[in-house]
Amino acid sequence: MSAPEPSADCLFCKIVAGEIPAEIVHATETVVAFRDVNPQAPTHVLIVPRSHYANAAEVAHWEPTTMSELVGAAAAVADKEAFGDSYRLVFNTGPGAGQTVFHAHLHLLGGRPLTWPPG
Ligand code: AMP
């Protein structure tokens, strides 16, 4: 597992840096939350670390506190958007699981009934 390096070609690094527009709904010193451009639920927000890591396991390894902050930020957004106690948090990891952007991101989905198992 390699240490984080900022990536010039990374879409989410550019959103974090303000170089690409996004609808930011929550931000702290370590994480940024913005609306997904292709929402899969009435609320679909991505919460990302400001540092570049390829996936959730790398965040947990290198910045365990940030991992906790990602979940805390997701809960804060869920609270703001009044989901009650029901929402879904997802880290797609690897292309076979649907990961398309290789900067770790936590999906927050809510605002409709969410079935299980997912596809
Ligand atoms: P994943 O497939 O888990 O890697 O999730 C990547 C997510 O990023 C997808 O849900 C995309 O819709 C979303 N996405 C791609 N480009 C942007 C963008 N410019 N702003 C916001 N969300 C984006």
Topology of the domain comprising 11-110: HIT family, subunit A (3.30.428)
pTM of the predicted structure, to 2 decimals:
0.96
Which pLDDT tens digit goes with each residue over 93-113? Answer: 999 999 999 999 999 999 999
Closest residue to atom 3 of ligand 1, CA basis: 99
pLDDT for 6 equals 63
Rounded distance between C-alpha atoms, residue 1 and residue 59, angstroms = 11
Going from N- to C-terminal start, the domains of the chain cover 11-110
pLDDT means per 10 residues, the chain with 119 residues, are: 72 97 98 98 98 98 98 97 93 98 98 91
Q: Which amino acid is at 41?
A: A
Collapsed DSSP state (helix, strand, coil) of residue 35: strand
Paired strand residues for 35: 45
CA of 108 to the centre of ligand 1 (A): 12
Rounded distance between C-alpha atoms, residue 35 and residue 24, angstroms = 7
Ligand 1 pocket member 93 (CB < 6 A): no
